[in-house]
Structure 1
Amino acid sequence: MMIKGLWRVWLVAVATLVLSGLCQAQESGSGEAGWYNIESLNVGLEGDTENKSLRTPREAMRHFMHLTETGDFAGAAHILNLGDLSPADQREHGAALAQQLAEVFRRGKSINISRLSARPDAVIEDISGKDPRAGKARRDIELASLEAGKDAYDIRLGRYQVGDDEPVWLITPESVASISTLYDRYGPSRFETYIPETLKRNVGFLRLWEWIAIPLVVLAIALIGKVVHALMTMLTRLLPSGSPSIFMVQIRSPVALIVMALVMQTLIDFVVSFSAVVATTLRVTLTIVMAWGIGVIALRMIDTFMLHMTRRMAGEIDDSKPRDERKLLTTLYALRRVIILIMVILVTIYVLGQVRLFETLGLSILASASVLAVLVGIAGQAVLSNILSSFQLSLAKPLRIGDLVMFEGQWCYVESIFYTYILLRVWNERRLIVPVTYFASKPFENLSAKSTMEYRSLDLVLHLNADVACLREKFLEFAHEEENVIEHHKLLCSVTAQTAAAQTITFFLMTVDPLSGWSAEVSIREKLMTFIRDNHPDWWPRQVVVLSEQDIARGETVAQRS
């Protein structure tokens, strides 16, 4: 009995496997057919269309566009699968649905017919083998994906066969059901009902009224931007001077552009509906303008905050301020560059997401990514190297904002460290703009690296009979009178060189910073020279000439003759 039971179980398992294989074979066979089998097609429509014009997706859409452009919407209705409608509704609404779909294509999404498959089975031919769908027959393909409200709707072509007839490509019933919704979103606006029919004829890729309306709309938007800019200027004059007024001046143009973009977007959405080419171009442009404007306003806000912090903490940027304040200021400028980089990345991601660049270009971008990376790397090598050097200087801090540096023989204060260049204020109030990589590759002397104090010296060349002790006493007196001379115990006066006719006396003094030290040096030199001129003019160096007896006799002879 147990053996018989096992045999029965085995037979049931074999039968199950066989039936499963047959079902899978049938499903596989239906999938390999590459079309949907239907019992009837658009029985409520009058007339008919030739199946040979619907054999491939490209032929079907070309035929649909031709019929709608010539005004034969009743014929174009045969290219819609109206299977979800009753025969009476097909006859009543078929032509209207075809006309509405043509308007959606013209205004919402321009279809590139040449990119559609020219094969009946719509097989993707991919020689590289990277597309996993390559070599497989398709029963439906996507023509467009459009948004209406918060929902997205796909318009697709499907391949259908009635009985033994040749399969044809038609707009799917699911896409037909969404035509009315998409038409409400992308169809002609109420404004267009007032446009004469003579202006609605096509001229090139636009209609005649669009060629007239676009320049007028652009001019009106420009006038609105100018008015906004003028109002912002008037508002700036009402604000108190300082950071608020500076901020308002800097954001006048971005705010005007944002208002212009919003007005244009409102016109496109609610007043006038342009063709797909114009609408898509305008939407991409407006998205970029608004993203750029918001980013610039945020950046100007950061710059105003930086200016306020600079004026409050450091005042005029120089090395007379505490080291911690200058270090904090340098860190803030480095943080500014990080924020700018993050903002650029976020704005770029936002713009790409809004314009759906990756959906439209897709494989083309991926295929050319390596080429673009190489081109960008070569073209932007200098810029990238400057940016990296800028971050290196900000993080390592070999110099800070406000440091006094000796660069290529010039005294300069570091005013700003930007992405690609460093702004240096020369001692004579000129500005020196140096690329970051050039500055980082050259040796420079940071006179404020550890301390702003500097030990300076001045030389006086005097006669050998000059009294060094007297000069030392006057030097100490003059040095004590200078407020920028510090550490008086380091004051020193010594003879540092001597020749047959003169001696060099050097005076050493410690000053609070290099620039003040230079001022103290020239002041003390002037006072010492005045003292010598007024009290000991014999201390000035003079040339000693030794005359021979012949020179003396010759001189006496010349004197007697004269």
Structure 2
Amino acid sequence: MIHEPGNASMTIKGWRLWRVAMAVLLLAGLMLTGVCQAQEDSRGGEPGWYELDALNVGLEGSLDDTSLRSPREAMRQFMKLTGKEDFRSAAHILNLEDLSPEEQRIQGPELARQLIEVFRRGKWINISRLSARPDAVIEDISGKDPRAGEVRRDIELASLEVGNDAYDIRLGRYQVGDDEPVWLITPESVSSIPALYQRYGPSRFEAYIPAPLKQNFGLLRIWEWIAIPLVLLAIGLIGRAVHWLMTALTRLVPSGSPSIFMTQIRSPTALIVMALVMQTLIEFVVSFSAVVATTLRVTLTIVMAWGIGVIALRLIDTFMLHMTRQMAGEIDDSKPRDERKLLTTLYAVRRVIILIMVMLVMVYVLGQVRLFETLGMSILASASVLAVLVGIAGQAVLSNILSSFQLSLAKPLRIGDLVMFEGQWCYVESIFYTYILLRVWNERRLIVPVTYFASRPFENLSAKSTMEYRSLELTLHLNADVACLREKFLEFAKQEKNVIEHEKLLCCVTAQTAAAQTITCFLMTVDPLSGWAAEASIREKLMTFIRDHHPDWWPRQVVVLSEQDIARGEHAVERS
């Protein structure tokens, strides 16, 4: 057969392409095989469980392995058996490999009984949250959990503290020979059961409770439904007694700032004592179920943190009140400007301290109740949503707080300034987070939101100086002697102690009509309110002088009669 050169070239090229394609397919097959092998190892190979030669050989009887294939099934079976007080069977769900066969037979049931008591009082296990898969793979459809798809051979059920030590209770997956792997309480967790039981187990008080009252009724036992109201009533009486005692002690301390401080801390002190007594009861006297104990611990932590924070705040307020009385006395604009400026700064510092205290209390409470450990990734996932909701709901509050800081730092007004706000004379008594407290001239209190106050024009009568130039007007007849009246005005004005700068006293005619003239008197006063009082006093004295010595100066109506009107009048008189 004769081959043409062109056909031979095509055959060589085809052979080369075939070899490249086969190499690529071989490489892809090797990679695919490696991936499959890795998946096979991660799901069904050695990392998926712990291998044992024997398991709980000292225990009597056995359990169906099908009830222990997943963490959820294992714990459901444990709760079921301990609920029926079948602790011998429940002991099979504990990995007792650290104990000898004789110790397993004797101590196994007791350890199972102690563990269920720890769960009941320390931390109740929510079985529905445990994985129902044999391999306990973390399932996360949203894809936010970085551990999604991870096969686990042990999981944490609870973490409990005893003093300064922390103990974990975990489930592990074990296989004996070719048997089906099962989930059991790990040996490390079993070894910590006695210490946990000594801390969270039943108290001596429960030894005197009749057995029928120890039966479960809903979430709690019967005796707990009876004891909780009685304990709360007793704690309330203790708080009432502490409040009464603090009231009695208030009468013994000196009046003033100490007495005010004692009065303000009565309720917080009573709450702190109540929380301490309650904490002592649940720690050393009465062992409530985990639901009640956890709720009480969180509540007591919040109450104690709040009480201590309030007492600290009251101490700061009392200190500021003492400084206010020492520096400025009654809050008004008659005091030096520097003192009122310092007082305003102190109020701003007070608000900063309050914010810091609130943040510290929140951090302490969150750390004590382990909120971040409980919620975990849920908080991080919903942080943006919470921020938006808080921003919308608290927009008015945040706006008031920012406006409050702006007023305190920029100081367009100070504590003690006299302002004219919406037609009323008011002294600025306090600038709080969300509102400003104004004392009106008639001793009423005007509470104005900070944002509303800052968005309205107001006249600060104490911005530069408390002095004010005032004027009073008198309307008199045209024949009134202005020079005589001026002399009397100067005499009366110099007698007023709140009238200053006598060289600026002035009295002159400022308007005139056909029947009367307007005489205006000008005077300088130390402050607006004193000036108003001096103005009223001088006006009253001038009117008394005119009434007693020159009543003809009062304005009167002038009527011009014609001759016909006069004739009619005379004719009417003659007829009468």
Which TM class, normalised by the smaller chain length? over 0.9
Displacement of 1:310 in angstroms is 1.2
SS in 2 for 1:146: strand
Q: Gapped runs of 5+ residues in structure 1?
A: 1-20
Letter in 2 for 1:159: R
Evaluate the alpha carbon distance shift between residue 505 and residue 32 of structure 1 in structure 2; reply closer, same or farther with a 3 A threshold. farther
Q: How many residues align?
A: 540
Paired position in structure 1 for 2:207: 193
Instruction: Determine if contact 2:95/2:190 at 8 Å carries over to the other structure.
Output: yes
CA distance in 2, matches of 1:32, 1:533: 117
Instruction: Determine if contact 1:287/1:354 at 8 Å carries over to the other structure.
Output: yes
CA distance in 2, matches of 1:394, 1:239: 34
Cα deviation 1:77-120 (Å, max 9, x = unaligned): 11111111111111110000011000000100010000000111
**Residues 1:407 and 2:421 aligned together:** yes
RMSD over aligned Cα atoms? 1.5
Instruction: Determine if contact 1:107/1:187 at 8 Å carries over to the other structure.
Output: yes
Instruction: Determine if contact 2:506/2:522 at 8 Å carries over to the other structure.
Output: yes
Letter in 1 for 2:103: D
**Residues 1:67 and 2:76 aligned together:** no
Paired position in structure 2 for 1:6: none
Evaluate the alpha carbon distance shift between residue 403 and residue 336 of structure 1 in structure 2; reply closer, same or farther with a 3 A threshold. same
Query: Identity percentage over the alignment?
Result: 85
Evaluate the alpha carbon distance shift between residue 31 and residue 399 of structure 1 in structure 2; reply closer, same or farther with a 3 A threshold. farther
**Residues 1:451 and 2:465 aligned together:** yes
Alignment of 1:420-431 (within 5 A): 420-431=434-445
Displacement of 1:128 in angstroms is 2.1
**Residue from 512, 528, 541 that aligns with 2:555:** 541
Paired position in structure 1 for 2:522: 508
Alignment of 1:300-315 (within 5 A): 300-315=314-329
**Residue from 40, 53, 58 that aligns with 2:72:** 58
SS in 2 for 1:368: helix
**Residue from 543, 546, 550 that aligns with 1:532:** 546
Paired position in structure 2 for 1:165: 179
Displacement of 1:363 in angstroms is 2.1
Which sits farther off after the overlay, 380-389 or 289-298? 380-389
Letter in 2 for 1:478: F
CA distance in 2, matches of 1:258, 1:533: 71
Displacement of 1:530 in angstroms is 1.3
CA distance in 2, matches of 1:38, 1:32: 12
**Residue from 290, 298, 303 that aligns with 2:304:** 290
Displacement of 1:49 in angstroms is 0.5
Alignment of 1:131-150 (within 5 A): 131-150=145-164
Displacement of 1:468 in angstroms is 1.4
**Residues 1:272 and 2:286 aligned together:** yes
CA distance in 1, matches of 2:234, 2:99: 46
Paired position in structure 2 for 1:232: 246
Paired position in structure 1 for 2:399: 385
Displacement of 1:553 in angstroms is 1.4
Q: Gapped runs of 5+ residues in structure 2?
A: 1-33
Which sits farther off after the overlay, 372-381 or 447-456? 372-381
SS in 2 for 1:406: strand
Paired position in structure 2 for 1:3: none
Displacement of 1:32 in angstroms is 6.2
**Residue from 115, 137, 157 that aligns with 1:123:** 137
Normalising by structure 1, what TM-score?
0.94
Displacement of 1:371 in angstroms is 2.1
CA distance in 2, matches of 1:344, 1:199: 43
**Residues 1:348 and 2:348 aligned together:** no
Displacement of 1:540 in angstroms is 1.2
Instruction: Determine if contact 1:32/1:137 at 8 Å carries over to the other structure.
Output: no
CA distance in 2, matches of 1:135, 1:325: 67
Which sits farther off after the overlay, 545-554 or 134-143? 545-554
CA distance in 2, matches of 1:411, 1:108: 62
Displacement of 1:33 in angstroms is 4.2
Displacement of 1:429 in angstroms is 0.7
Letter in 2 for 1:290: M
Paired position in structure 2 for 1:461: 475
CA distance in 2, matches of 1:158, 1:287: 34
CA distance in 2, matches of 1:374, 1:29: 42
CA distance in 2, matches of 1:556, 1:54: 132
Displacement of 1:29 in angstroms is 8.6
CA distance in 1, matches of 2:45, 2:142: 25
Paired position in structure 2 for 1:48: 62
**Residue from 100, 125, 130 that aligns with 2:114:** 100
